[in-house]
Amino acid sequence: MMRRKNSDEIDVSPLLPSSSRTFKEMYSIDSFFRKQDLNSIIADGIEDRIQEGGSIKRTLSVWDLIFYGLASTLGTGIFVTVGKVAKLSAGPSIVFSFLMAGFASFLSALCYSEFASRIPVSGSAYSFAYISLGEVVGWFVGWNLTLEYAISASAVAGGWATYFKYTVVSLGGTLPWWLDMHEINELITISPLSFLIVLACTLVLLFGMKESARFNLIITVINIAIILFFIIFGSFHVDKTNWGDFFPYGISGTWRGVGIVFFSYIGFDSVSTLAGEVKKPKRDLPIGIIGTLTIVTMFYIAVSLVITGMVPYFQIDEDAPLASAFGRIHINWASTVISIGSVTTITATTLTSLVGQPRIFYQMAKDGLMFSIFGKTDSKGTIMYGTLITGLTSAVIALFFDLDVLLDMISIGTLLAFTVVCAG
């Protein structure tokens, strides 16, 4: 993107806000293929230069990254996706679906780790594409990431609403009609609870990233304890005969499951969007990305084995598979524990899903490819306007659209982002 005029002078005009660039500079054919120069960014401190109007603060450690990554991935992957795929697509062979999807994600994770350690800015796949493939590709990827980050928060919120209702019912209560979900047609489902949880998480993020990280750390520790409880306690109630027909839908069903459970790995890549807020990005980002992916893969495989061992695959509850598994064997107290835990887990996932998109827009705004308001921060380094606008947008989407519709959109966005990063 940056061009050296001579050994002592660097042309940084492409990095300035759009208002500082002429129409010809922004929209000429050459600008479409202009690339950011990595060596110039590192050697001349261009990142600091483009943040002169206020910048995000470097406050996060490697443990903040790992717990952020775990919170981003463990929610719907375990508490929603496992039940749907095991029952309708793969049966017990969902274990192999997770393994293959995990392997594919691992290859992408290596690319993300390499890029993130060398390019410690907040743009994630957008910045990687801009530097390696050019401006037009970077711009396209930046907007495409909206399908992954902003819309994934809406999808996760739909799963949260389902589990919240299940928890209320398991505790002997009923959900008021005005908070319940109302299906209008195949595409639209009114879900006030989904809307409210996205708004609540947006407000938490407005307090600042370090404060949000502390909140996320506490709630993620609780969530991991709940998942370990299911794995350990549930393993004592596994009936091995349930694994007798391990490939009920054939190999094609297992492969079909790969495409669906791939959504469960969305989150490890979002760690790279925090590059601008990490104290030691070159060391901590690769550890955070690879560490997150490794841990969640082990959790997915363990949970899949236990759930398909406890309940015949064709009897698994699609909406609340883990909690209903204990309810089916009449251990209601354990079912209640899992229900409460699922609500806290998906709360953390909703929160972390809202983190990535404002940071993508922040970097795009700094590069002159997005409205300048998205590049502004408050005195604490919080991306105030970007967080508020993307949060409200995600809340409205969560209010009206069904989870299955959103999952398809997210998978498309994620696969394209992974492909571009690997190509770069």
Tens of pLDDT along the chain (424 residues) come to 444 444 333 343 443 444 445 545 555 555 555 666 666 555 444 444 444 445 666 778 888 888 888 888 887 678 778 888 999 989 999 999 999 998 888 888 888 787 777 777 666 777 777 877 777 887 888 887 777 777 778 878 887 887 788 788 877 788 888 888 777 777 777 889 989 999 999 998 888 777 777 888 888 888 899 999 999 999 999 999 999 889 999 999 999 888 888 777 877 777 877 777 788 878 888 888 888 889 999 999 999 999 999 999 999 988 778 888 888 888 888 888 888 888 888 888 888 888 888 888 887 887 777 888 887 877 777 788 888 998 998 899 888 876 566 666 666 666 666 676 666 6
3-state SS assignment for residue 51: coil
State phi, psi for 385 to the nearest 5 degrees.
-70, -40
State phi, psi for 196 to the nearest 5 degrees.
-70, -40
Distances (CA, A) of 155 to 148, 183, 198, 403: 10, 15, 10, 5
Question: How far apart (Å, rounded) are the C-alpha atoms in residues 398 and 400?
Answer: 6
Angle between helices 135-148 and 150-170 (to 10 degrees): 10
**With contact defined as beta carbons under 8 Å apart, do 129 and 424 qualify?**
yes
Question: How far apart (Å, rounded) are the C-alpha atoms in residues 45 and 103?
Answer: 36
What is the Cα 386 distance to its own chain's centre? Answer: 17
Question: How far apart (Å, rounded) are the C-alpha atoms in residues 376 and 400?
Answer: 30
Question: How far apart (Å, rounded) are the C-alpha atoms in residues 153 and 272?
Answer: 17
Residue 300's nearest CA partner among 85, 155, 156 is: 85
The whole-number pLDDT of residue 198 equals 92
Q: What is the bridge-based pairing of β-strands 189-190 and 182-183? A: antiparallel
DSSP lists the bridge partners of residue 11 as 3
The whole-number pLDDT of residue 307 equals 93
The whole-number pLDDT of residue 19 equals 43
Question: How far apart (Å, rounded) are the C-alpha atoms in residues 390 and 363?
Answer: 15
**Hey, CA dihedral for 119, 120, 126, 130, is it positive or negative?**
negative
Question: How far apart (Å, rounded) are the C-alpha atoms in residues 274 and 77?
Answer: 22
Q: Within 13 Å of residue 68, how many CA atoms lie on the same side as its CB?
A: 33
The whole-number pLDDT of residue 22 equals 52
- Could you report how far apart the first and last alpha carbons of the chain are, in Å? 15
The whole-number pLDDT of residue 228 equals 93
Instruction: Count other Cβ atoms within 10 Å, centred on residue 172.
Output: 7
Residue 378's nearest CA partner among 123, 202, 215, 208 is: 208
Residue with tokens 């009897």: 315
